[in-house]
Structures are given as C-alpha cells and as structure tokens.
Amino acid sequence: MFLAVVLAASAATSKPTATPAPRAQLKTIVNIRSTPFCNSIAQHFNAAVVPMLANDRDLDQVDTQLTNFTDVFHHADYQIRYSDTRVALIKYVSEISKSLPQIQTEINQLREGERLTTDKAEAAQLHQVAEKLQLAYNKQHQLTIDLGGVIQAMMDYHPPNDLDTFQEEMNEQQMPAEMRSVKSWLRFDGQRDVLGQAENAAADQAIDLVTNHCTSQK
C-alpha cells in the first residue's frame, strides 16, 4: 500500500602497551615532499573523504531501515514500526545532507590544486582524482534527494487503524517484484555500487599521484 503512495508521490579492542625493547634506528625509505601542490592534495582529499566515508556508514543504516520497511505492514504493530522507520530515516538522511556542502567545497579546492603545478602530468592525474570524488559525491547527493522523496511520502501517508495485514500481504504478492521494495525502486544497491567504485578509484589514483610526485624513494 505505502509503496504505491511513494511511487505516486516521488514519480578493535585496545591492548595494554608493553615497554618497547631498544632497537636500531630505522632506515628512512620515503621522504615526503612538502610543496603547495602535495600539501593541497593531502589536505583537501582527506577533508573530502573522511565525511564521505561517514556518510557511507549512515547509508549502511539506511539500508537496514529500507530492508526492514519492506516487512512493516506484515505485523500487527505496523503503525509503530512505520513511525520508527520514518524517524530513523530522517536522522540518517539529515546527517548525510548536512555534510554534503562541505564535501563539495573540499572537492572544488582539491581541483584548484591543478593551478599549483606546472607539470601537466601532475595536473592531469589530480583532475582524475577530483573527477572520481565528484562522481562519488554526486551519488551520495542523488541518494539523499531520492531518500528525501521517500521520507516526504512517509510524512504524507498515515497508516489506517484497521489495516488487514493478511490482505495487505496478499495484495503485495500481486505486485511486480521490483515494486515490492523501496530499495529496489530506488535502485539503492546499484547506486551504492557506483558510489563505492568511484571512491575506490579516487583512492587508488590519489595514492599513485602522491607516490609518483610527492615522495622520493631512498
């Protein structure tokens, strides 16, 4: 019942530290170059990725709520379950939404790092890192908009007091499989796959960039 409304409305444990035994001085194998270009990468890449990963953890919680929501109207206490799911979704989606402007600012500033080098290869690699981060950001932003539509539909819909949960389950069985789940309708898993791939690609390219242009091997 609710899904039809949505579619219409929204089209490591720490251990004691032992006293270390005396050891020979370690040989330095990597020196980090402190340049405006390299410093900019470290600052703005990390400042974008840390809240982005925090958003991924919130999306894990959203995943759980959307999965649970599929089963809400199969229980006698469906009104309580419906309300609890709505409150949880509002909490997690609001946290993600609040972080997005700062993430975009950091990506923009990371992109500005291209102006800090005269090496075309460095600039091109940094451009690719920023592009992958932008793709990841875009997916988080899109998911936030989509989930906002679900929340608004949930705010507008009020479960009846006398819902026949058995009949509701029977009606659901008549619906196409892709309409029985809000997650499926949102293509939630597919969007998160694209998000994760973009994040991993950005990290891999950033490591390559820093290794090749911001460190000197010894």
The low-confidence residues of the chain, meaning pLDDT below 70, are 1-33, 163-180, 216-218
- What is the rounded CA–CA span in Å between residue 108 and residue 134? 9
Q: Where are the domains of the chain?
A: 32-217
Per-residue b or e along 124-158, where b marks 16 or more CB atoms closer than 10 Å to that residue's CB: ebbeebbbbbbbbbebbbebbebbbebbebbeeee
Sequence-ordered alpha helix ranges (H) in 75-119: 78-112
Cβ-in-10-Å burial (0-12, 13-18, 19+) of 3 comes to buried
Of 168, 172, 183, the C-alpha closest to 76 is 168
Per-residue b or e along 62-99, where b marks 16 or more CB atoms closer than 10 Å to that residue's CB: beebbeebeebbeeeebbebbeebbebbeebbeebbeb
pLDDT at 180: 57
- What is the rounded CA–CA span in Å between residue 32 and residue 39? 10
pLDDT at 76: 84
